[in-house]
Amino acid sequence: MKAIATVERTNLILNKYNLHARKKLGQNFIINNNIIENIVTEAKLNDDNFVLEIGPGIGALTWELAKTKLPILSVEIDNDLIPALREEVSQYFDNSKIINADILKTNLLELFKNNFDNFKNDNKIVVIANLPYYITKAILLFLINQNIKITKMILMVQKEVANKLTGDIKKNNAFINIMNLYSETKILFDVNKDNFQPIPQVDSAIIEIKLVDKFVNLDKKQIISFIKKAFLQKRKTLINNLKNYYEVEKIKTVLEKNNISLNIRSEKLTTNQLIDIFKGVD
């Protein structure tokens, strides 16, 4: 069987199953198998890895991932794509499981346990995906909050998001700070928009996100909730955003102790400064 990520095979499968790319689900299918091969190479998968794929589409990446013989769990929200994924990909590979679900509503631990008899709680999971761009942030926040051992992610994201995650931002926001706390990101390579069908409006990049808990002593739920509160309203000062949750005098004392202006807006703070404030007010 031939790879799926070519113009010919993509059109053939779309026609055969009477499918049309759904814009509202972020459906842009890769039509260049070199990119897919590079993604799998860059993932540097080990024999003991389990792979989670989000949004397999018509199986371009699923096909190459399945060839590694590792256990691959692919979660696709669009019910209409499931017959194509099953008939064109997973029926040829025992190690490829297709799940019809919204990734944000899944219990990943249960899914891996139910689909792979040999899966144990501390098995290492690598996430590999060409993400649906409309929910990139939601998916990343969902993944860093999981109770399974995700070690790294190799992801196709919008170029702009890749830049932000690697530090190219003028204004900090809650999402970037939370990602800074729990991960390290680097750009692996850029992908031009004409490698997709239909062609999206923006260029993309493949990034590697390593999940590292740099602040093991901090309660994850509490610090994430603190950061979200600090950014509740962009235009307000940090004190105004936090005053309903913490004693204002306490916040002022911490800011003064750290030589930070009392009128500071959260977007001007670094992740480390936010952590200092969190520790001080808590």
Judged by the rule CB under 6 A, the positions of this chain that interact with ligand SAM are 25-30, 54-57, 60-61, 75-78, 102-104, 130, 132, 135
- Residue 68 has, within 13 A of its CA and on its CB side, a CA count of 23
User: How far apart (Å, rounded) are the C-alpha atoms in residues 115 and 73?
Assistant: 8
Tell me how far, at minimum, the Cβ of 215 lies from ligand SAM, in Å: 29
- Sign of the Cα torsion 148, 162, 208, 86 reads positive
User: Residue 139 burial (CB < 10 Å; 0-12/13-18/19+)?
Assistant: buried
Structure tokens at 206: 């493949």
Residue nearest to ligand SAM (CB): 55
Q: Using the minimum distance from each CB to ligand SAM, give the nearer residue, 61 or 181.
A: 61
Helix (H, G, I), strand (E, B) or coil at 100: strand
Q: Using the minimum distance from each CB to ligand SAM, give the nearer residue, 19 or 275.
A: 19
Tell me how far, at minimum, the Cβ of 171 lies from ligand SAM, in Å: 27
The residues pairing with 189 across neighbouring beta strands, listed in sequence order, are: 206
Q: Using the minimum distance from each CB to ligand SAM, give the nearer residue, 26 or 71.
A: 26
Tell me how far, at minimum, the Cβ of 224 lies from ligand SAM, in Å: 21
Q: At 163, which amino acid appears?
A: N
Tell me how far, at minimum, the Cβ of 242 lies from ligand SAM, in Å: 32
Query: Peptide bond before 198: cis, by omega within 30 degrees of 0?
Result: yes
Q: Using the minimum distance from each CB to ligand SAM, give the nearer residue, 157 or 275.
A: 157
How many separate helices (H) and strands (E) can be counted in the chain? 12, 9
Q: Using the minimum distance from each CB to ligand SAM, give the nearer residue, 54 or 277.
A: 54
Q: Using the minimum distance from each CB to ligand SAM, give the nearer residue, 93 or 215.
A: 93
Tell me how far, at minimum, the Cβ of 173 lies from ligand SAM, in Å: 22
Give the pairing type, strands 149-158 and 183-191: unpaired
Tell me how far, at minimum, the Cβ of 250 lies from ligand SAM, in Å: 40
